[in-house]
Every structure is written in structure tokens, then in C-alpha cells.
Structure 1
Amino acid sequence: MMGSTFRNVARHMAVPVRAMSSLSSNPKIKVVKNPRSPFTNYLSYLEKEPPDERLAIGTTSELPPTPQSFTENKDFVKILNEVITEYGHQDEDLINQARAFASPGGFNLGSGGAFFSQKRPNRGGSRKQGAGGGAGGDGAGGASAQGGAGGGGRGGYVHLSDRRNPPDFGRIAWPEDILGSVEVDGSGTIIGKVQPSGTYRILTNEGILGLSPFLQAKLVERLKREEAKQNSPS
């Protein structure tokens, strides 16, 4: 009798429901209901409910998010670019590409970025993957250069790219997948720091934020520091 009563009481007890879940395509990214808009979700690397809007990746009106439903957070993009500039030159993907640049033949490793010589490419190419045109860089070479053969003992540039859509061997990534570019000398040594491309998109049809584990960890560390600063008494 007592057991039956206990079960009935337990069945009617209010059970708190977390409004947080994870993206199946990228479990490190949390999905948090927007308390002010029931049809909108925040996407965030931080486990806070509700998240700090300035530190959230963005918002989406659909799950899974699509390029049409997703709105990126400009403050997050700024932080992402700062992390890329500060740590991108230490990323293993980029270091491997720089080494390949200096090797005979110098083709890329298929991990997301090709390289090109210091001679500025023709910008009149098509949008076909691996051709010129597109991402518009600056003195760091940008994302608009020709892919293919490496330095042959000369300097050049390599791309740091998202892992969500690796290009075919010997090709460069799509402009929206290129995080930035950096100069490399003829021996494969990275010179300076990565310059953000300005064309990277957080979410494409191929996925969302396919960062290397190294860059993702650095980004999350930075976000946590920003969160701690905002929560500390002034």
C-alpha cells in the first residue's frame, strides 16, 4: 500500500527540465532555449542558462540549424578572429601544410588549405573549388589564390581552414571555409600570425564550426575568461 502511494506521489512531482541540449553534429555546441522567444534557440560553447548573448555563437529558429535559420553573433565572430590571430599559427593542420609547402612538389595534405607562391594570383577566376576568386585577403595572401604546387624553395602563403568540408587533394577550400592565411618561407617555417580571411562563415550546408581540437579548446578558454570577467564584481 505504501509503495503504491509513493509511486503515485512521485509520478506527480514536478521534475525540472533542462532547457539545454547539444547539437548532434557538433556535441561541444550547446542548444539553449531563448526565454524571451520560445521559437528561438541560442547556440553556445558555454553551459550557462540563459547564455550571455555577447558570448553565444548565434541564434537559430530551426534545429538542426541551417544557413537560413541561423543568425551569427558579431561579437562572437570578433572573438573567434582574435583567437585565430593569437593561436592559429600554432595549429597542427597549418603546421603540416607549411611543411608540405616546402616539400618537393609541395601539394597540400587535403586538410583544408592549399598554398601558393608570393606572386599574386589572377583574381579573375571562377568560383570553382581551387580556382582564383573569392575570399579577398590582404597582404597575407587572402583566400583568392591559386592552389596547387608548393614553394619550390620560395616563400608563399598557406590557409587555415575549417575541417567540415575538406577540399579535394591539391585544391583550396571554399572561401566560406577559410579561417585565415599566413606567410611561409621556403623551408616551411610559418612567418608571423594568421590574418583572418573575412569570408569565413560559422555555419554552411556542410556543418558548423569544424575547428581543430586545438583551436576549439583555445576558443572555449577565451570565452570562459570573458564570462568570468563579466561575472566578476566591478
Structure 2
Amino acid sequence: MLTSTFARSSRSIRPTLRVPTLYLRGSRNVSTLPENPHIFVHKDPFDPTRSLLSLLPTTPPTRQLAIGTASSLPATPQNFTSNPQFVPLLSSILAEHAAEDPMVQGQAAAFASPGGFTLSRPNDGAGGASHQGGAGGGNVGGWIHVSDMRNPPDYGRIAWPEDILGSLEVDGSGKIIEGSWQNSGSYRIVTREGILGLTDYLRGKVVMRLRELEEQINNNSK
């Protein structure tokens, strides 16, 4: 009798905790890329055989704000099609906010330090990979490159052209010159190294702008 009573009591106090399911506002069980948890995977509304990749979790997705689509995952240069509206939008956001990024500011400070490194001008036609940097500083200004985080270069080195988002001019004291942003013209959203990867700061600025545009689009469609 005591044994059976204890067994029933044990079952009655068995933990009932469950692992909560995460539901994002405006989304329905949206998955993300294993290699980049900040990029959401949706079904393309116009072609359900393709995956639509976006920095926004909203479903149905706002197609004109997406990064692009892929016929299979992971996205590769062979199966990925970029949204032609996304890169110009990304560039405009970076032009406004890249100089504020703590990581970029640290790069500028290192550039101007006595033991820093020198980087080439972005418009010399040779491309970033051809100029791997060297001992620098000496109160001489120049350019620093803002590159994709999917394949970050070693300290004092310059990223490959397809990984360079753009460049900023720095004076001899390590101060970024306002309004000096230049698009690289060679950046690729997807390479063999992976898909778009931004610093936390810049990704936050991009997502904020995308949400603003999404709200405008939704309001205009009402």
C-alpha cells in the first residue's frame, strides 16, 4: 500500500516544465541560417521552390527588402540571386553610419598609431587584395576599408575585394573624415566564404532602417 501510494505521489510531482517555443512578432516559426542566425529564411511568395533570405522575420516577407533568394541552402554564388534593391540600400545605410561603428573607429585609431598599418586608397584600380598593408602611422592620412565579417582579414591586412563593403578616409590623427564614404564597387553578398555578415552595430542600423521601410510599405498598401 505504502509503495503504491509513494509511486502515485511521485508521478503527481513530476516536473511539467517545457522548453518554450520562440514566436517572433509578425512571424510564424521563422527559421534562420545555421551559418548566420541573423538572416531569416522564408518561402519566396512568387516562387515557393526558392528560399527568400531577409534580415527581417516578418511573414509574409517584404520581398523588396530581402537580401535575395536561393534555390537551395546554404546559399552559394551559384544558387543565389541578389535583390538588386538591397545593395544600394545597404550602401546608403553604411555611408551614414559606418563611421560610428566602434570596430571601424578602432581600426581608424590603429591606422594612425605609431605601430599602425597603412592602407591604400580605394580608387587606385588595383583592388584591396593587391595591397596587403605594411608598417605605418607617422601622422599620415589614408583610407581604411570596412569589410564583411564572414571572412575578416588578419590584423594589418586588407580583405579581398569581394569582401570590402566600402572605404573611409582617415586623417593623420586617426579621425574619420565626415562624408568620405566610398562604395567598393566589388562587394558580393554571397561568396564561397558565406553570406553577408555585419558587425552588431551596423546590423542594428540596417535592421532599424529596414523596419522603418517595411512600416512605410505596409502603410502605403492599406
**If the length of structure 2 is used for normalisation, what is the TM-score?**
0.79
What do residues 195-225 of structure 1 show as CA deviations (whole Å, max 9, x unaligned)? 2211111111112111000000000000000
1:28 is paired with a residue whose SS is: strand
Question: Equivalences for 1:4-153 in 2 at 5 Å?
Answer: 18=28, 20-107=30-117, 115-116=118-119, 133-134=126-127, 145=131, 147-153=133-139
Structure 1, unmatched stretches of 5+, are 1-17, 108-114, 124-132, 136-142
Q: Which residue of 2 aligns with 1:215?
A: 202
Distance in 2, Cα, partners of 1:203 & 1:117: 25
How far is 1:183 from its partner? 0.8
Do the aligned partners of residues 100 and 72 (structure 1) sit closer, same or farther apart at CA in structure 2, a change above 3 Å counting?
same
CA distance in 1, matches of 2:78, 2:120: 37
Task: Tell me the amino acid that sits aligned with residue 106 of structure 1.
Answer: G
Cα deviations by residue, 1:82-106 (Å, 9 ceiling, x for unpaired): 1110001111121111101111121
> 2:216 aligned with 1:229, yes or no?
yes
Structure 1 residue identity aligned to 2:119? F
Whichever structure has more helix as a proportion of its residues is 2
Amino acid at match of 1:177: D
Cα shift readout 1:175-201 (whole Å, capped 9, x = no counterpart): 111111111111101102322211111
* Whole-angstrom distance in 2 between the partners of 1:70 and 1:50: 20
Q: Secondary structure at the match of 1:186?
A: coil
The count of residues paired between Structure 1 and Structure 2 equals: 193
Aligned match of 2:140: 154
CA distance in 2, matches of 1:164, 1:215: 14
Runs (4+) of structure 1 moved beyond 4 Å? 143-146
- Within 5 Å, give how 1:169-180 maps onto structure 2: 169-180=155-166
Q: Tell whether the 8 Å contact from 1:175 to 1:200 is kept in structure 2 after alignment.
A: yes
Q: What is the identity, as a one-letter code, of the residue corresponding to 1:183? A: E
Q: How many Å separate the matches in 2 of 1:45 and 1:116?
A: 31
| Mapped contact 2:145–2:166 kept (Cα < 8 A) | yes
Residue 167 (structure 1) aligned with residue 160 (structure 2): no
| Shift, 1:28, TM fit | 1.2
Q: Does 1:187 align with 2:187?
A: no
Match of 1:206 in 2: 193
User: How much does 1:146 deviate?
Assistant: 5.1
Q: Is the Cα contact below 8 Å between 1:19 and 1:32 reproduced in 2? A: no
Based on CA coordinates, which of the two structures has the bigger radius of gyration?
2
Determine what percentage of the aligned residue pairs are the same residue.
55
8 Å CA contact 2:144–2:167 kept in 1: the answer is: yes
